[in-house]
Amino acid sequence: MQEFCSFSLNSLKSWLEQSGEKSFRAPQIFDWIYNKGATSFEEMTNLSKPLREKLAASFRFPALKLIRTLESEDGETIKYLWELADGQRVESVLIMSGTRRTVCVSSQVGCPARCAFCASGREGLIRNLSTAEIVEQVLHIDRTLKVKGERVSHIVYMGMGEPMENYDAVMESIYLFNDPNAFHISQRRITVSTVGVVEGIERLAKEELAVNLVLSLHAPNQHLRKKIIPYARKYALEEILMAMDRYALETKRDITYEYTLLAGINDRSQHAEELTRLLSGKQCTVNLIPYNPVEGLNLRRPTKEAIEGFRDILVSAGITTTWRYTKGKDIAAACGQLAVQKREPLALVSPV
């Protein structure tokens, strides 16, 4: 059985024609799923009963089952744990800031990067997510927001997994998010984060897209980066930065470099000074992320003074720098933390 949310509008039209149905039904079906919030084909009352039965027999929808949600004490972050058809689990996070409603989506079960500070890669890569399994993370959250007169406004591929290692499904999901018949989210409000898969970055530069690209840098040199990100051994840092520069040139988009600050490891003044030399002359932003503690990992968050000192060195060198305020610490909102926990019910549970 095929997953409905893996189909583009054109592929659905083709399926309808091959099934002896009229292709003009495709936009109507999309409208039910993506705008009216239908949870089954039976609800699509402007379709004939035989067509509804054919759809139900041919497509799996939904592909995700909500296991639990956790809401932060400030009410600005909600974490969702989903179960897939094969029993695997992934997470999404809804971050509310002003009028923004950003969903952080996962692209894989587990992660091959095995970053030292991240819970997602502790068990390595288990499998890629399908297009539908990515899309439905946003679809189901968007449905809950619409009840309040809101909608998902931004999407970031920064959850579990390395998006560039699941390239085709990630691209198909981006085109669906951008499709006016589905979510109609601007490409400029979609961000893809990578640890530096050079082939993926180069492929993305050739797409007819202008999404934001973020590199998980986390170190100012290859030697230290390999310790923090074992996956970094596959590509030289210079090669990755060249690919990022080519992406910026092709798309006319500024690049963001994410730098998770780990106490005593990569947060010293000499690291900041080396980082300024590495990024000198580049049209970019450095997003500093104070480490969000993960149970079982012997890593510490730097002091506020250390963070400010690191930032000041970058700013003094003329590098645009932001400092990400950590949200959702009370609900283990860093990617992977909830999915790797034991499956006993948690204290904060609320249905969608």
Give me the CATH number covering residue 19: 1.10.150.530
Considering 60, 86, 106, which residue would you say is the last residue of a domain? 60
Name 127's bridge partners. 109
- Is residue 122 one of the residues assigned to a domain? yes
Domain of residue 317, CATH code:
3.20.20.70
- In order of 99, 111, 126, 216, 259, the CA distances from 256 in angstroms are 22, 21, 28, 9, 10
User: Hey, what are 64's tokens?
Assistant: 């995700």
Q: Which long-range contacts (CB under 8 A, 24 or more apart) does 184-191 make?
A: 185/152, 185/153, 185/154, 185/155, 187/211, 188/212, 189/153, 189/154, 189/155, 190/154, 190/155, 190/156, 190/157, 191/154, 191/155, 191/156, 191/157, 191/158, 191/256
Nearest to residue 12, comparing CAs of 43, 49, 45, 41? 41
In this structure, is residue 98 part of a structural domain?
yes
Cβ contacts of 312 within 8 Å, gap of 6 or more: none
Q: Are residues 49 and 128 both part of a single domain?
A: no
Residues 224 and 128 placed together within one structural domain of the fold: yes
User: Vertex 302, ends 297 and 306: CA angle to 5°?
Assistant: 160
Decide if 346 is inside a domain: no
Check if 335 is active-site: yes
- Whether residue 141 sits in one domain with residue 40: no
Quote the tokens at residue 305.
């003074």
Contact 113, 154 (CB under 8 A): no
Distance CA 92, CA 41 (A): 25
Specify whether 100 is located in the same domain as 43.
Answer: no
Given this model, what pLDDT does residue 86 score? Answer: 96
**179 and 39 both lie in a single domain:** no
For residues 88 and 109, is the Cβ–Cβ distance under 8 A? yes
Domain that residue 99 falls in: 65-331
> Does residue 205 belong to any structural domain of this protein?
yes
The residue out of 10, 27, 60 marking a domain boundary is 60
Amino acid of residue 238: E
Asked if residue 342 is part of any domain, the answer here is no
pLDDT at 325: 61
Q: Are residues 149 and 214 in the same domain?
A: yes
Neighbours of 146 (CB within 10 A): 14
Are 232 and 133 members of one domain? yes
**249 & 203 share domain:** yes
Residue 307: how many other CB atoms lie within 10 Å: 18
Q: Which of 91, 162, 172, 258 is catalytic?
A: 91
Task: Please check whether residues 7 and 86 belong to one and the same domain.
Answer: no
> Taking the chain (352 residues) in consecutive chunks of 10 residues, what is each chunk's mean pLDDT?
97 98 98 96 96 97 96 93 96 96 97 81 88 98 96 96 97 98 97 97 94 97 94 94 95 94 97 97 93 83 96 96 68 49 35 29
Specify whether 53 is located in the same domain as 194.
Answer: no
What's at 174, amino acid-wise?
I
For 135, the enclosing helix (H) or strand (E) is helix 131-146
351 located within any domain = no
Same domain, 113 and 17: no
165 shares a domain with 137: yes
Does the residue 120 lie in any domain? yes
The active-site residue, picked from 5, 104, 111, 335, is 335
Q: Is 301 helix (H, G, I), strand (E, B) or coil?
A: coil
Which of 60, 89, 110 corresponds to the end of one domain? 60
Query: Considering the domain boundaries, does residue 349 fall inside one?
Result: no
Q: Could you report the per-residue pLDDT of 180-236, keeping only the tens digit for each?
A: 999 999 999 999 999 999 999 999 999 989 999 999 999 999 999 999 998 889 999
> Looking at residue 293, what is its pLDDT?
81
Total structural domains within the chain = 2
